[in-house]
Amino acid sequence: MAVPAVQQLAQVISQLPPLDQEFLYRRLERLLQPKLSPQVVVDFREKRFANGFRCPHCHGTHIHRHGKYKDRWRYRCVDCRKTFNDATASPLAGSHRDIATWLKYAKCMSQGMSIRRSAQEVGVSVPTAFYWRHKILTALRNLPKPSLTGIVEADETFFLDSQKGSRNLRRPARHSGAKAPLRGISHHQVCVLVARDRQTSTVSEVVGHGRVTAEQIGTALDGVLHDCVLCTDAASAYRTYANEKEIPLEALNARRGVKKRGIYHLGNVNGYHSRLKRWIRPFNGVSTKYLPNYLVWFQRIDSMHNIPRNVVANRLLDHSHTPMVFTTTKDLGCA
């Protein structure tokens, strides 16, 4: 196209309303986006089976090819006699969309888009966008927890209990934006425990309702603390847990004005709480049922905040295919 024609087109576009410009941009992006080459499929297979090509059903290694289905190679395990393809036991299992569409959806997730907007961007239905989101997040939750070493800051934050989308409420319905009926910390609030070391490795878990207990701390942190000093507030549950596990403890009593003792403080974990609350606010209330998925979602995005968005999207998708998971709509409460 000649340069004057391009300039004339740019002038016409600049005069369009912002919403029309955004619509035109999305249409052009879809039309001009090149098809992914078969090499992307090869890269996907290599990343997923980086530790060896194994059957997702029985983990056997005696495997041979078993034809093709819709341009996808199929394999058969000699041990269990079951067939599978590269996407079996992954979020892509059963999907009629190609990897390019999934990568585009992962890009929407890396930007924290809503389900409705993600569906519009990718060109799928809202239920499909919901299903894809939680398939990816459920897979990420199956990854091993990181090890926490050195000074480990641990503190809890709270979210109002939400039964959004439930047809059988355990309490009277609340209007959107309503507050808890009781002041302070109560069973109306969901407790999220966050532990974070100075290398920014983070573990965040929904541990229950109301104040945290030593047993709940153990459920969240057992097996992830190694050669560390636990730095917490003055809650007795942390002291009980530390004494039981023989972990050095530095308890800071903010009510008595002790917010820092030398190198010991809770600044990192409290900053994480603030970023989490700010990030989750646009979702307008996350159901408590799905809150663990959103915690692992934010944890992944926060750990890659200095990385370009397209790389974050690729890593989100790559990491979600590492564990073998068989997740259905029934498991996610979609059916």
Do residues 257 and 153 share a domain? yes
d(CA 70, CA 92): 14
pLDDT tens for the chain, 335 residues long, are: 456 777 888 888 888 887 777 777 766 765 655 444 455 566 677 777 777 788 888 888 888 888 877 667 788 998 898 988 877 888 888 788 877 788 889 888 988 888 999 999 898 999 999 999 999 999 888 888 999 999 999 999 999 888 887 777 777 777 766 777 777 788 889 999 999 999 999 999 999 999 999 999 999 999 999 999 999 999 999 999 999 999 999 999 988 888 899 999 999 999 999 999 999 998 888 888 999 999 999 999 998 888 877 788 878 887 887 777 777 666 676 55
Alpha carbon dihedral 215, 217, 223, 225, in 10-degree steps, equals: -140
Do residues 79 and 153 share a domain? no
Instruction: Flag whether 278 is in a domain.
Output: yes
Instruction: Flag whether 246 is in a domain.
Output: yes
Instruction: Give Cβ neighbours of residue 170 (< 8 Å, ≥ 6 apart).
Output: 163
Do residues 155 and 258 share a domain? yes
CATH number at 252 reads 3.30.420
Do residues 159 and 268 share a domain? yes
Q: Can you list the alpha helix ranges (DSSP code H) found in the chain?
A: 3-14, 18-32, 38-48, 99-110, 115-122, 126-141, 214-221, 236-245, 267-280, 291-303, 309-320
Instruction: Flag whether 300 is in a domain.
Output: no
Q: How many domains does the chain have?
A: 2
pLDDT at position 71: 64
Instruction: Give Cβ neighbours of residue 259 (< 8 Å, ≥ 6 apart).
Output: 252, 265, 266
Instruction: Flag whether 39 is in a domain.
Output: no
Instruction: Flag whether 133 is in a domain.
Output: no
Do residues 82 and 185 share a domain? no
Do residues 67 and 156 share a domain? no
Instruction: Flag whether 288 is in a domain.
Output: yes
d(CA 231, CA 225): 12
Do residues 158 and 282 share a domain? yes
Instruction: Flag whether 127 is in a domain.
Output: no
Residue 72 domain boundaries: 60-89
d(CA 182, CA 158): 14
pTM for this entry: 0.79
Which of 69, 89, 109 finishes a domain? 89
pLDDT at position 102: 86
Contact 57, 80 (CB under 8 A): yes
Do residues 155 and 249 share a domain? yes
Instruction: Flag whether 29 is in a domain.
Output: no
